[in-house]
Structure 1
Amino acid sequence: MPQTLTRVLREIRRASLTGKLFAAMLVVNVLVIGAMALGARLSFERGFLGYLEQQEIKRLESSVGPLAMAYRDHGSWDFLLQNRSLWHEIMRPYAPASYPVTSHAPLPRLPVSSLIGTNTRFTLLDAKGAYVFGNPAFADTSPRRPIVVDGKTVGWLLMVPFERATEAGDLRFQKTQRESSWIITIAATLLAILTTLWMARALASPLRRIASATHTLAGGDLSARVPTVSSGDIGQLEHDFNHLAQTLESTERMRSALVADISHELRTPLAVMSGEIEAIEVGVRPVSVEAVRSLGGEVKRLSRLVDDLYDLSLADVGALRYHHEQLDVCETLRSALRRSARRLGDAGLTLRVDLPDTPLWVRGDERRLQQVFTNILENALRYVDAGEIVCVTAREDARTVYIDFDDSGAGVPEAMLPSLFERFYRVEASRSRATGGAGLGLPICRGIVEAHDGEIAAARAPLGGLRIAIALPRSTETFRNRRDHE
């Protein structure tokens, strides 16, 4: 038996999801049906039969009076032996006694009928306990009541218990009840099997669709989706799967575009260098300081692109190293502005700076924050025309330090603002290739700012151009220390 059970469990584990759900729900239903059948049987045997016993006890007590009256009229129990049919007349319910009486009114009508052979279960004993008449199959434990005439016990009336009364009618009734119970149990089991099979298929159907779509997705078809026709947890799973598939598809498109963009960005300086070197080799262009300077510029551009890609990849995997410390972001910003001020002036741009005299304390990496500020200023150099204004401001509130870089240039269309922080994104591709970078500066800035638990966003500047807004958490530790010293 244990080996059989183990084999069955092994087969269930190997079965499909529909089979497992069907087996689980069927077992539960069969157990419930079995428990209900057992409870009904116990209720019948203990409840219904007990109820009949209580009714028969009442019948027993009601039959003592007619026997006492008959004994008083005849003076002994011999009249029953001489006229056996008189016993049934006396014990018959809902009928008066038919034996002759002279001084008594008709016997009272009894409240209980005899549909289960009650008359055949009475036993009459004399005062000494000797058998007189009735069912001889009595026991000492059988319910009994004394028959008292004029204060003297003249006999005992016993009743054979219902469980021991195995009359043909009783057996047929019990058999009928058992057959009905079996029919109901079998019908309920068949209904449970059909219902369980339908429910198992209904529950497993969306899961099978998700499993099939998962296999399709794993095979490389990222357009696989499942219809969201369910509700509850299954519906949420369908929605999450579609969201996952959409994210994978979007990531794959970004990866393909990234590879194409990187290839293009690397090809441009390499093509220029290859053309310069070939021209020098064939003698079209002499080896001069100008030629070397041109090659050096392309090498620097290529080196800068590789460095940006390396920094961006480190930021994506969270491996970009940071040395966080308490620092005055105003001083860090002034340092970046000092390095870019001359180049901004040479480009014909007017620099306006509005920084507070008091320190703006944050916790961060000074070198990485300077990289952010420098990249933003480099973008202004590339994309803002001469004669325009570049304005840098900083302020703070109770929790945040705000740094804004505004310009009065042509700006960026509203629809393109969220895309500025995507890799290799250019508002004007042709101009960017000529004078701009690879489109990696702002994505690197976003990674660094987010690593400082800050936010960076693009918006339209009050001057009419582009605003790059940075928000960094204020250093509460330095603020508390300063307050304690005060």
Structure 2
Amino acid sequence: MRIRLFHKLFLAIALASFGSIVLFAASAHWVMQRSFVRYLNEAREARLESLAGNLATHYADSGGWDALRGDRRGWRRLLLDVERPPAPPPGPPPGEARAAPPHQAEAGRPPHRGRGPVAVYDADHRLVAGHLPYAADFQSSPVIVDGRTVGWVAMPPLARPTEARDRRFERRQGQVLLIGGVIAALLSIAVAALTARRLVAPIRAVGSAARELAEGNFETRLAPGGRDEIGQLTDDFNLLARALHENESSRRRWFADISHELRTPLAIMHGELEAVQDGIRPNDARLLDSLHGETERLQRLIDDLYQLARADIGALDFEFRPQPLAPIVNQALARFARRFEACGLTIEQAIGGNLHVLADRERLDQLLDNLLENCCRYVTAPGVVHVSVTGGNGKAVIGIEDSGPGVDDAELARLFEPLQRGEASRNRRSGGSGLGLAICQRIAHAHGGRLTAAHAARGGLALRLELPLQEAP
């Protein structure tokens, strides 16, 4: 049987609150009992002090304890003098009936509070009046005459209330604590239910929204939460939903773009062949050149798609070795020197430092060739391409900036997506597949680096390749 989170939270909060209430009530009852007994014992001590004063007067008048020994009536009078209640209030005006005083049945009787087995002892703790032998734990008060202790008046201490009135008071206090504890327990149950419901509600909302995501509704969003962990969970879910929505949009755009890229050369070849079949175009060398160009374009696209797919699944082969970076960049520029000259582009170089990186030489050449090829395809002649190699903070940086045209901010953010060319501002003159930068970024990540793009100060595009520095062998 699965226990729901609501029930777990409810039980945890309710049991913790109930346990605290029980502990508090038990502690309060224990403290109340001890305090009440202490109060009764203090009242008894006050009674003993008053009785000791009367006994001192009796001792001084009679010249000793002999007069009190065996005189039960005299001893009772002394006790009554101490326990006698105050005089009743004055009667009502003439002609008005006297109301019966409260506790009339107890009128004229000593009050119950503080009563107990009181005894008098001489200076040597020998019994004078009463019937209990002296014990060390008795409550006692000295009988002092002319500065000399002539005896003691004492009684056993109370361990718990003995009078009916005191027991009723103690019982009522216990009932009050019990009623208060029950009310507090009911309130804690209500608070536990509300708290558990409040905590579980956003989690249920996340679960419901997650099921909608699983069904393909990637536009599902949750209301922003608070600043606690549940609010952070809500924000993370919305972040996940946005990422899934963007990935789905990218997937659909990918299928649309790849379909377009594959259809274009096939449509051209199909049209050329139909023209030959219909006798509109002769089957000559120009036709073969056109068909050959389209098949090459289709082959490049398929090869790039294959490379990108292998990069995405981590199937590209790499053989990392420490490599000096400057010679690799210089050789790449040498390979493109004539190509740049034919495209009307000027190369500016700022390559310095004895920098080494851990790299696969073949893949790094592939990356640089793709970046430089993009310059040949998209930079307007006459143009300038500035290539730099710098190092610092544990990184080697290869920078490639061109003179334009550039791309807008929206295209810049999508520049490394497959089949993205930024065609609105950078001419497609050589039939690029739009996969080169995506492949370059995968190669950079495989080297533990990253490839980023920004607007160049010259008006074009600035590409920045960062690779971890390696100590020279």
Q: Equivalent residue for 1:389? A: 383
Please say if residues 325 and 356 of structure 2, whose CA atoms lie closer than 8 Å, have aligned partners that are also in contact: yes
Select the structure with the greater relative contact order (CA < 8 A; seq sep ≥ 6).
Answer: 2
Change (3 A) 1:314 1:327: same
1:450 equivalenced with 2:441 (yes/no): no
1:422 equivalenced with 2:410 (yes/no): no
Query: Given the alignment, which residue of 245, 266, 274 partners 1:270?
Result: 266
Q: Equivalent residue for 2:78? A: 87
Q: Equivalent residue for 1:378? A: 373
Matched residue type, 2:191: T
Query: Given the alignment, which residue of 218, 221, 230 partners 2:217?
Result: 221
Q: CA deviation at 1:254?
A: 0.7
Please say if residues 350 and 390 of structure 1, whose CA atoms lie closer than 8 Å, have aligned partners that are also in contact: yes
Taking the TM superposition and a 5 Å limit, the aligned residue runs for 1:50-449 are 50-74=38-62, 75-77=66-68, 80-82=71-73, 86-92=77-83, 117-124=113-120, 132-133=129-130, 143=138, 145=140, 157-163=153-159, 166-278=162-274, 288-346=284-342, 348-354=343-349, 356=351, 360-385=355-380, 387-399=381-393, 400-413=395-408, 415-428=410-423, 435-449=430-444
Q: Which moved more, 1:170-179 or 1:372-381?
A: 372-381
Please say if residues 404 and 469 of structure 1, whose CA atoms lie closer than 8 Å, have aligned partners that are also in contact: yes
Q: Which moved more, 1:259-268 or 1:325-334?
A: 325-334
Q: Equivalent residue for 2:93? A: none
Please say if residues 355 and 396 of structure 2, whose CA atoms lie closer than 8 Å, have aligned partners that are also in contact: yes
Percent identity of paired positions between Structure 1 and Structure 2: 37
Please say if residues 223 and 246 of structure 1, whose CA atoms lie closer than 8 Å, have aligned partners that are also in contact: yes
Change (3 A) 1:94 1:285: same
Change (3 A) 1:359 1:138: same
Query: Given the alignment, which residue of 25, 28, 38 partners 1:37?
Result: 25
Separation of aligned partners in 1, 2:376 and 2:125: 130
Q: CA deviation at 1:242?
A: 1.0
TM-score, normalised on structure 1?
0.78
Matched residue type, 2:366: Q
Separation of aligned partners in 1, 2:397 and 2:125: 114
Q: May I ask how many residue pairs the two structures share in their alignment?
A: 445
Q: Equivalent residue for 1:6? A: none
- SS of 1:412 mapped into structure 2: coil
TM-score, normalised on structure 2?
0.80
- SS of 2:255 mapped into structure 1: helix
Please say if residues 383 and 436 of structure 1, whose CA atoms lie closer than 8 Å, have aligned partners that are also in contact: no
Separation of aligned partners in 2, 1:473 and 1:66: 102
- SS of 2:387 mapped into structure 1: strand
Separation of aligned partners in 2, 1:458 and 1:350: 20
Q: Which moved more, 1:295-304 or 1:22-31?
A: 295-304
Q: CA deviation at 1:437?
A: 1.6
Unaligned runs of 5+ in 2: 87-109
Q: CA deviation at 1:56?
A: 2.5
Q: Equivalent residue for 1:100? A: none
Separation of aligned partners in 1, 2:281 and 2:444: 46
Q: CA deviation at 1:283?
A: 6.2
Q: Equivalent residue for 1:22? A: 10
CA RMSD across the alignment = 3.7
Separation of aligned partners in 1, 2:351 and 2:256: 45
- SS of 1:119 mapped into structure 2: coil
Change (3 A) 1:138 1:206: farther
Once the two structures are superposed, residues 168-200 of structure 1 have per-residue CA deviations (whole angstroms, 9 ceiling, x without a partner) of: 112111111111111111121122222222222
Q: Equivalent residue for 1:484? A: none
Separation of aligned partners in 1, 2:311 and 2:84: 100
Change (3 A) 1:357 1:141: closer
- SS of 2:181 mapped into structure 1: helix
- SS of 1:166 mapped into structure 2: coil
Change (3 A) 1:209 1:115: farther
Q: CA deviation at 1:246?
A: 0.9
Q: CA deviation at 1:294?
A: 3.3
Please say if residues 401 and 461 of structure 2, whose CA atoms lie closer than 8 Å, have aligned partners that are also in contact: yes
Please say if residues 40 and 114 of structure 2, whose CA atoms lie closer than 8 Å, have aligned partners that are also in contact: no
Matched residue type, 1:393: V
Q: CA deviation at 1:354?
A: 2.4
Matched residue type, 2:32: F
Structure in which a larger fraction of residues adopt helix? 1
Q: CA deviation at 1:92?
A: 3.1
- SS of 1:363 mapped into structure 2: strand
Once the two structures are superposed, residues 337-389 of structure 1 have per-residue CA deviations (whole angstroms, 9 ceiling, x without a partner) of: 3443344444x42443525477543332211121122112222332234x423
Please say if residues 120 and 151 of structure 2, whose CA atoms lie closer than 8 Å, have aligned partners that are also in contact: yes
Separation of aligned partners in 1, 2:353 and 2:60: 125
Please say if residues 327 and 363 of structure 1, whose CA atoms lie closer than 8 Å, have aligned partners that are also in contact: yes
Q: CA deviation at 1:444?
A: 1.5
Separation of aligned partners in 1, 2:307 and 2:57: 117
Matched residue type, 2:387: T
Query: Given the alignment, which residue of 20, 31, 35 partners 1:47?
Result: 35
Change (3 A) 1:156 1:267: same
Q: CA deviation at 1:243?
A: 1.1
Matched residue type, 1:73: D
Q: CA deviation at 1:237?
A: 1.6
Q: Equivalent residue for 1:110? A: none
Please say if residues 394 and 401 of structure 1, whose CA atoms lie closer than 8 Å, have aligned partners that are also in contact: no
Q: CA deviation at 1:395?
A: 3.3
Change (3 A) 1:459 1:86: closer
Once the two structures are superposed, residues 401-456 of structure 1 have per-residue CA deviations (whole angstroms, 9 ceiling, x without a partner) of: 44343444533345533332222123227997774322111122222223334343
Please say if residues 80 and 87 of structure 1, whose CA atoms lie closer than 8 Å, have aligned partners that are also in contact: no
Please say if residues 392 and 405 of structure 1, whose CA atoms lie closer than 8 Å, have aligned partners that are also in contact: yes
Matched residue type, 2:203: L
